[in-house]
Structure 1
Amino acid sequence: MSVVLIAYDGTSNARRAVNYAARFLAAKRVVVLTVWTPIRSGPDPVSVDLDGPPDPIEDDPEEEHDIAYSDALRTNEEGTKLAVTAGMNAEPMLVPVQGTIWRAIINAADRIDADLVVSGTRGTTGLRSLLQSSVADHVLRHGRRPVLIVPPGH
């Protein structure tokens, strides 16, 4: 195997998936993917300012900061560090979601031509599993690549 994509969202199930990938897979390249949802500011700032005169509007694009991106970056750094510590040659990848998370994972896997996608899952069962398909399940059903789904630990 040469390219493995690990979907990583910072949950204990995602950490478990990283550990299983490190334990059982030999890959030349491992990409740790975190999909994030941008927080878009509205078209018009709040018109009522209760603390006095209006705050100055910053025109500097460096000042525009998406906290969702910062959170995703921290999550991805954690996952990449976990993979490297486990002995994998891992690199980070962040992708903003523009539809569904599972579609973003499939598109990222296609973009890097991944040989395998690794994902943890919530492990829901019964009626709940019928009502809530997991992201991993959608990647498995809709993607064209092999998928290793690591169930939650006990």
Structure 2
Amino acid sequence: MTAHNTDTTMLVAFDGSPESRRALEYAAKLLKPKKVEILTAWEPLHRQAARAMTLTTLGADPEDPAQTGALETCRDGVALAESLGLQARAHLVESATAVWSAIVDAADELRPDVIVTGTRGISGWKSLWQSSTADSVLHHAAVPVFVVPPLADGEDGTDDNSGTGNNLGA
């Protein structure tokens, strides 16, 4: 069965990272939906700077480079989805609190059948300092979540079963 499931819509949390690209490619291959909602959550530059520098008086820039970069990333996600034969729509959402919350809120509004996300696979001490977006989405979403892990050390990302050498981790 290689036909697309026309009844299934997936929401892909896409940040342009190798992990989000890998998640989209795997989900397209395994879930075989026809429609995909590409979601890129972004945080305004003034909030990023305030958090990094603990300043709270920075004003919003009407031409925020973070929003411009997020829009480009989202467009790249749509292009990738379309190259995989999917009908894709772009969604750019501003993260008011946490990226995972923006993803869950968008899923509540868009009502997909599944949320797709990649993960960096951070563990140990480092995981104490960096929260996992995928883990938070998994625990707060009202729909199933398809989480794709990063490439394992030494894994080259080729799909030996396809015979094409298609790099699923690029």
TM-score tier (shorter)? 0.7 to 0.9
Q: How does 1:54-93 map to 2 (within 5 A)?
A: 64-93=62-91
Q: Give the 3-state SS of the residue equivalent to 1:31 in structure 2.
A: strand
Check if 1:39 corresponds to 2:45: yes
CA distance in 2 between partners of 1:10 and 1:28 (Å): 21
The size of the alignment, in residue pairs, is: 135
Deviations 1:74-108, CA, capped at 9 Å, x for gaps: 10111110011011111110000011100000000
Q: Gapped runs of 5+ residues in structure 2?
A: 1-6, 47-56, 156-170
Deviations 1:95-149, CA, capped at 9 Å, x for gaps: 0001110000000011011110000001112333355331000000111210010
Q: How does 1:5-154 map to 2 (within 5 A)?
A: 5-40=11-46, 42-43=58-59, 64-153=62-151, 154=155
Give the TM-score taking structure 1 as reference length. Answer: 0.80
Cα deviation for residue 3 of structure 1 reads: 1.7
Structure 1 moving runs of 4+ over 4 Å: none
CA distance in 2 between partners of 1:139 and 1:64 (Å): 29
Q: CA RMSD in A?
A: 1.9
What amino acid is aligned across from residue 8 of structure 1 in structure 2? F
Flag the structure with larger Rg.
1
What amino acid is aligned across from residue 15 of structure 1 in structure 2? R
* Larger RCO (alpha carbons 8 Å, 6+ apart): 1
Identity of aligned residues (%): 42
Deviations 1:19-60, CA, capped at 9 Å, x for gaps: 1011111224210000001234935xxxxxxxxxxxxxxxxx
CA distance in 2 between partners of 1:74 and 1:27 (Å): 24
Cα deviation for residue 5 of structure 1 reads: 0.2
